[in-house]
């Protein structure tokens, strides 16, 4: 019964968001996305997406609208079997040399070896903030929910409702935070066998092509970017529709923190904040800050 009540509440919330202009994008790929490359290698129908990669090309889409703050989510099923060399990507990004970007990338591997869930963040053109995880489930046999929640206080990466990473806003302490550029949503499947699998040691086996990744139920519950005026409007906590500015979304709950710690302790395989050799001992400022 508890599960039914939660499911009912989710549908009620979605219905409420759907009535609010500029904060809700329904789960419909062909209505809300455009093809950026690989038109012959993909299919979008309603809330279903099929991305295909072969030796001639991959495929990619992006949202028609850009957003500043809110939540975007998609159900994704990754390339099964030997996916070495392939990368399925799902991310938010603006444009330009000082762009902002929030990433989920899924790095393929040989049959029987786990995928790598690769997360990264760019703020004003500066990236190098990678954290990587082994999945604690099989991401190829069913669809799993990948959500990026982004508000003036923090960014949270969720997998099936469990937070795996937080990046808080410490802009007042000189740490850049993506809060002044609208970002569109992108998804793609492409070949990256020069680096993606075991540092590029394992190449894509093209005899297994085509490789296929699938998406479902893309939802954006976010503030529509309308230019610089949105910087203030989308962050205004007095605007009723800016649900992401509620204090309840300003930090994780104790239960969420416990779940995140369990994932990070058990499944994180790389954290840039622990890579002292990479930064010659001069670690990024945010590495000394609490992420909650």
- Cβ neighbors of 123 (< 8 A, separation 6 or more) are 100, 176, 177, 178
Distance separating alpha carbons of residues 208 and 251, to the nearest angstrom: 44
Concerning whether 101 is annotated as a catalytic residue, the answer is yes
Q: For residue 200, count other CB atoms closer than 10 A to its CB.
A: 12
Distance separating alpha carbons of residues 274 and 281, to the nearest angstrom: 10
Distance separating alpha carbons of residues 93 and 71, to the nearest angstrom: 14
Concerning whether 173 is annotated as a catalytic residue, the answer is no
Distance separating alpha carbons of residues 165 and 271, to the nearest angstrom: 11
Is the dihedral angle over the CA atoms 211, 217, 221, 223 positive or is it negative? positive
Q: Which of 26, 40, 105, 171 is catalytic?
A: 105
Q: Which of 101, 154, 214, 286 is catalytic?
A: 101
Closest CA to 89 of 184, 157, 188, 183: 188
DSSP conformation class of 274: G
Q: For residue 276, count other CB atoms closer than 10 A to its CB.
A: 11
Catalytic residues: 101, 105
């Amino acid at each position: 019964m508890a599960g039914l009540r939660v499911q009912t509440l989710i549908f009620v919330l979605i219905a409420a968001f759907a009535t609010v202009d500029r904060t809700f994008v329904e789960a419909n790929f062909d209505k809300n996305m455009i093809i950026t490359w690989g038109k012959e290698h993909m299919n979008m129908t309603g809330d279903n997406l099929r991305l295909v990669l072969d030796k001639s090309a991959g495929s990619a889409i992006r949202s028609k609208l850009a957003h500043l703050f809110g939540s975007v989510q998609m159900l994704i099923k990754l390339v099964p079997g030997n996916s070495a060399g392939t990368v399925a990507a799902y991310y938010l990004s603006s444009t330009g040399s000082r762009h902002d970007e929030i990433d989920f990338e899924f790095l393929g591997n040989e049959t029987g070896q786990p995928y790598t869930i690769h997360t990264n963040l760019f703020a004003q053109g500066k990236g190098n903030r990678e954290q990587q995880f082994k999945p604690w489930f099989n991401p190829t046999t069913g669809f799993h929910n990948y959500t990026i929640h982004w508000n003036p206080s923090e960014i949270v990466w969720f997998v099936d409702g469990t937070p795996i990473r937080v990046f808080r806003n410490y802009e007042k302490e000189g740490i850049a935070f993506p809060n002044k550029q609208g970002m569109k949503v992108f998804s793609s499947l492409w070949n990256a066998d020069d680096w993606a699998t075991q540092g590029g040691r394992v190449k894509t086996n093209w005899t297994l092509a085509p490789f296929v990744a699938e998406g479902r139920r893309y939802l954006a519950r976010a503030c529509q970017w309308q230019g610089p005026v949105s910087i203030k409007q989308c962050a205004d906590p007095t605007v009723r529709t800016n649900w992401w500015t509620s204090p309840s979304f300003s930090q994780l709950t104790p239960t969420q923190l416990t779940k995140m710690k369990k994932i990070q302790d058990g499944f994180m395989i790389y954290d840039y904040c622990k890579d002292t050799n990479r930064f010659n001992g001069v670690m990024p400022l945010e590495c000394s800050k609490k992420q909650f």
